[in-house]
Amino acid sequence: MTDTRKPSALRGLVGSRTRTLLAPRVTGQVRYTDDIHLPRMLWGRIVRSPHPHARIVRIDATRALAKPGVLAVITGKDMPERFGIIPWTPDEYPLALDHARFVGDAVAAVAATDERIAHEAAELVDVAYEVLPAATDLQTAIDKPEVGLGKGGKDNVSKEVDLAFGDVDAALAESEVVIAGDYYYEGSAHVPIETHCAIANLDKNGLLTVWSTTQVPHYLHRELSRVLRVPPTRIRVIQPPVGGAFGGKSEPFSLEFCAAKLAMVTGRPVKFLYTREEEFYAHRGRHPMQIHMKVGARRDGKLTGVDARTFIDGGAYSSFGLVTTYYSGQLLTLPAFADTYRFRSTRLFTNKPPCGPKRGHGSVQPRFAFEVSLDKIARALVIDPIELRRKNLVPPNTTTLNGLRVTSNGIEQCLDAVERASGWKDRFGKMPKGRGLGVATSAYISGTNYAIYPNAMPQSAVQLKVDRSGVVTVFSGQSEIGQGCDLMLAVLVADELGLDLGSVRVISGDTDLTPVDLGAYSSRGTFMNGNACLMAAREIKSKLVAAVAEKLDVDPRNVLVTRGALVVVHDPARGVSVTEAIQLAEAKFGTLGAVGHYNTPKLGGEYRGGTIGASPAYSFTAHVAEVSVDARSGFVRVEKIWVAHDCGKALCPTIVEGQMEGSAYMGAAEALLEEHVIGPDGLHKGPNLLDYRIPTSLDVPDLHALIVESEDQEGPLGAKESGEGPLHPSIPAIANAIFDAVGVRVDRLPFSPARVLSALRKKQADEQATATAAAE
């Protein structure tokens, strides 16, 4: 009876299926960045390079400036400062200074009195280019170092990571089976429904306010200051609710700098809104990767070694590429892994839109290669693929061979759950031809131990304001991008203080109002801000308890926070409402407010070539996908996906399930439909929503979200991430299900009808050849 730390049991909010706070989003009441209109606001438009690689010889804005309604034209010379999200690799300019590196690279920007004039004026900016040799695909970048897109111009290398753990060659040599394969991921885009938008306004106090669809308001704040050479104290970044991001808005973009600069130049507010075409060129989508992977195993299925050689198509700039390159190897060692490991990943620059982080950043592509390899091994050894994985699971509370410290680990329960729910034992390998099941697993980080820029300060912080009316306001720098992170903080605070959700407000993503959080990336939001929130809420709680104990004349240890009231443990009829407790505490201690902060525990060693992105906790996922394949057309239909995900603790199951379903949906889309193809001319094959296909609601598989809870020691009330991890297994589970259905492997994404049909025909031809040979 004295345990006051069991919120879910006692207060009933954590784990409940609340949808409070989400209503404005689903009823159209949310006002997005583009909904903001300021008096005298101008429209901006970026002039973009039509060449994949060119030197900018001259920019003549005369014709544009002569057009009525055009107020300003700026070029690279107006902001000659490099930036980049990773402090070690700044290689972009807001507007290209002297070289354009891809079709769509920003070279100038105009501001005009309306959108139409801005677009027309952009066409009137005359740019003289000297066209240069280009590498518009990965192979050319590998084969032609003389294009010189890399640092120093000697080659096209963006980043290389080469790490080994144990003697892989010896392990593979001693293996009973070694599966070697080549896997290719074409690259995909985020396709948020809301395209990038930014508005800037310089007020008469000299304060520059930038509203942006960013996922990293704090980082944008820093970079705006540095690039524009304006003190950070004169800049406010506001991130209105974002209409989808998925990693595609997690770094500064040209439009934010251009809006700010043009606002400073013209003295009027300026808005930029990317068209859908521009959105595809701005990109930062998932990297194309070419992976050669060898995986060895003993006869009993125990994995012996993994050897991976990966080439990563980075596009024109570094973006998060340094991290991508590490992640392409480092995040493979969970949940099942071999005894030895070596990977060498090389990211190359190409004259294509720059790639960056997309949901599941860095590890979706190698995960595909690895999980398909496991399926091949299982087939070779005639072991059930789920059993094969069970034999190789990394246990809880351990450290992987590459130094990932694992705390809670619910992968066994995840495998059990999908096995049971899918009827795996009765159906795998036993269904009619054309129908199949496939399994895959993965693990993902709950934030990283490394701040996005080196500093000793907290990674997340939350400030609470407690009002005597019973309202608690949570100020958090986190970025609500539709993932529901604001609701998570509300649940934590409400639960801790016994409030209902309608009494909690969350203000997020505003550098003037909210403490620093590093941004919505690496699945760090709820984990880090949640911990910060609990720290602050518990400080408030202790004051409420003390004030109530004094009022009721009992020992504070005997005061229990329940939903709506603080009561005496052994006499729950005695108590005061939370609002009254707040007023008692305010009278006793003064106005109530608190700051909570979070930093990851000091974990993760140094590795050759740098640090790794070790996380304070890992989520785990298992998928079983069921597909049907039409052998005549090669058309694959994903019928169902069972998704079991260890999220530590489901603070709000509705949100966790939404994330699981959304991730599996996105994985399935990448498996079957999405490909972000750039032609030899540097042009996107179809930068619009007719040609670039994402599944409509009619195309969505039947998704079954199975929550697994492992109550992690590091997470807020035990919670871990759920926003990215559930994506990874979709692609290999579907690939493996296709094999189960029709016996072919398609090791190149997406699994389009043409590719499947080609594989089926090849198989048929091979079988006929074999039969003919046997007959001869």
Q: How many CB atoms lie within 10 A of CB 182?
A: 12
Rule CB under 8 A: which of 102-131 touch a copy of itself?
none
In the three-class reduction of DSSP (H, G, I as helix; E, B as strand; rest coil), residue 643 is classed as: strand
- From the list 1, 3, 68, 205, which residue makes contact with a copy of itself (rule: CB under 8 A)? 205
Residue with tokens 């106005």: 591
Element spanning 322, H or E = helix 321-330
Q: Please name the residue ranges forming H helices in 109-235.
A: 115-123, 138-143, 168-173, 217-228
3-state class of 344 per DSSP? Answer: strand
Q: Is 231 in the site for a copy of itself (CB under 8 A)?
A: yes
Smallest separation, CB 105 to a copy of itself (Å)? 30
Verify binding: residue 267, a copy of itself, rule CB under 8 A.
no
Counting contacts by CB under 8 A, is residue 455 touching a copy of itself? yes
CA 180 to CA 190: how far, in whole Å? 31
Token code pair at residue 454:
């080196």
How many CB atoms are closer than 10 A to CB 389? 25
Stretch that binds a copy of itself, among 272-280, 304-312, 345-353, 463-471 (CB under 8 A): 463-471
Using the rule CB under 8 A, is 591 a contact of a copy of itself? yes
Q: Is 502 in the site for a copy of itself (CB under 8 A)?
A: yes
Tell me the closest approach of the beta carbon of residue 684 to a copy of itself, in angstroms.
35
444 binds a copy of itself (CB under 8 A): no
**In the complex with a copy of itself, which residue's Cβ is closer, 30 or 631?**
30
Q: How far is CA 404 from CA 459, 607, 729, in A?
A: 20, 12, 20
- In the list 314, 515, 530, 729, the residue contacting a copy of itself (rule: CB under 8 A) is 515
**Applying CB under 8 A, what is the total number of residues that bind a copy of itself?**
59
Any bridge partners for residue 315, and if so which? 349
Per CB under 8 A, does 300 bind a copy of itself?
Answer: no
**Contact mark string toward a copy of itself, 29..48, x via CB under 8 A:** x-------------------
Distance CA 18, CA 771 (A): 61
Q: Given the rule CB under 8 A, which of 152-160, 173-181, 295-303, 509-517 is the region that contacts a copy of itself?
A: 509-517
Query: Binding segment for a copy of itself among 204-212, 339-347, 394-402, 606-614 (CB under 8 A)?
Result: 204-212
Coil, helix or strand at residue 209: strand
How far apart are CB 659 and a copy of itself at their closest, in Å? 21
In one-letter notation, the amino acid at residue 157 is V
| By CB under 8 A, residue 615 contacts a copy of itself | no
The CB-of-530 to a copy of itself minimum distance in angstroms stands at 15
Give CA–CA dist 328/152, Å, rounded. 25
Could you tell me the sign of the dihedral formed by the alpha carbons of 486, 491, 494, 451, in that order? negative
Q: Of 139, 248, 148, 146, nearest to 192 (Cα)?
A: 248
Question: How distant, in Å, are the alpha carbons of 165, 399, 768 from that of 463?
Answer: 43, 34, 70
500 touches a copy of itself by CB under 8 A = yes
**Piece of 63-71, 366-374, 453-461, 673-681 that binds a copy of itself (CB under 8 A):** 453-461
229, 426, 469, 553: which one binds a copy of itself (CB under 8 A): 469
The helix (H) or strand (E) run that includes residue 405 is strand 405-406
Residue 503 binding a copy of itself, by CB under 8 A:
yes
Please give the Cα distance from 106 to 76 (Å, whole number).
9
Could you identify the residue written with the tokens 């070539």? Answer: 609
Q: Which amino acid does the sequence have at 697? A: S
CB of 538 to a copy of itself, least distance (A): 14
In the complex, minimum distance from the CB of residue 309 to a copy of itself, in angstroms, rounded to a whole number: 41
Q: What's the closest the beta carbon of residue 453 comes to a copy of itself, in angstroms?
A: 11
Among 340, 441, 511, 730, binds a copy of itself (CB under 8 A): 511
542 touches a copy of itself (CB under 8 A): no
For residues 70-109, which are near a copy of itself according to CB under 8 A?
Answer: none
513 binds a copy of itself (CB under 8 A): yes
- Greatest alpha-carbon pair distance for the chain in Å reads 98
Give the 3-state secondary structure of residue 281.
helix
| C-beta closer to a copy of itself: residue 464 or 731 | 464
For the chain, what is the radius of gyration of the CA atoms? 27
Closest approach, Cβ 468 to a copy of itself, in A, equals: 6
CA of 506: how far to CAs of 465, 492, 667, 723, in Å? 10, 11, 31, 20
Instruction: Examine residue 20 and tell whether it contacts a copy of itself (CB under 8 A).
Output: yes
Choice between 74 and 584, CB closer to a copy of itself: 584
**Min separation Cβ 474 and a copy of itself, Å:** 11
Q: Name which of 73 and 501 has its Cβ closer to a copy of itself.
A: 501
Residue 602 engages a copy of itself in binding (rule: CB under 8 A):
no
- Binding mask 154-193 toward a copy of itself (x if CB under 8 A, else -) reads ----------------------------------------
Report if residue 2 touches a copy of itself, rule: CB under 8 A. no
- Please identify, using beta-carbon distances, which residue of 221 and 342 lies nearer to a copy of itself: 221
Tracing tokens 């540097």 back to the chain, one arrives at 682
* Rounded distance between C-alpha atoms, residue 474 and residue 507, angstroms: 6
The minimum distance between CB 222 and a copy of itself, in angstroms, equals 7
Residue from 55, 82, 144, 465 binding a copy of itself (CB under 8 A):
465
Query: How distant is the alpha carbon of residue 654 from its chain centre?
Result: 20
- 583 contacts a copy of itself (rule: CB under 8 A): yes
Contact call for residue 463 and a copy of itself (CB under 8 A): yes
- Kindly tell me which of 313 and 517 has the beta carbon lying closer to a copy of itself: 517
Cβ neighbours of residue 275 closer than 8 Å, sequence gap 6 or more: 195
- Binding region for a copy of itself (CB under 8 A) out of 94-102, 189-197, 588-596, 637-645: 588-596
Would you say 315 and 244 are in contact if contact means Cβ atoms under 8 Å apart? Answer: no
CB 674 within 8 A of CB 684: no
In the complex with a copy of itself, the residue whose CB is nearer, 211 or 349, is 211
Q: List the one residue out of 327, 384, 338, 395 whose CA is nearest residue 361.
A: 327
Confirm if 209 and 217 have CB atoms less than 8 A apart: no
CA distance readout (Å), 365 to 187, 271, 325, 332, 663:
9, 36, 12, 10, 15
Residues β-bridged to residue 559:
568
- Give the whole-angstrom CA distance, residue 334 versus residue 340: 13
* Structural contact between residues 466 and 582, judged by C-beta atoms closer than 8 angstroms: yes
Task: Identify whether the C-beta of residue 150 lies closer than 8 Å to the C-beta of residue 157.
Answer: yes
Per CB under 8 A, the list member of 516, 549, 576, 614 interacting with a copy of itself is 516
DSSP class per residue in 293-306: EEEEE-TTS-EEEE
For residue 245, the minimal CB distance to a copy of itself (Å) is 22
Rounded least distance, CB 280 to a copy of itself, Å:
30
Piece of the chain touching a copy of itself by CB under 8 A; list 399-407, 505-513, 685-693, 757-765: 505-513
**4 versus 20: smaller Cβ distance to a copy of itself:** 20
Nearest to 161 by CA among 575, 608, 466, 526: 608
Residue range at the interface with a copy of itself (CB under 8 A); choices 93-101, 218-226, 343-351, 640-648? 218-226
Q: Which stretch binds a copy of itself (CB under 8 A): 49-57, 151-159, 449-457, 711-719?
A: 449-457
Q: Is 601 in the site for a copy of itself (CB under 8 A)?
A: no
**Interface residues with a copy of itself (CB under 8 A)?**
20-21, 23-24, 27, 29, 203-207, 221-222, 225, 231-236, 455-458, 461, 463, 465, 467-471, 473, 475, 499-500, 502-503, 505, 507, 511-516, 532, 579, 583, 586-587, 590-597
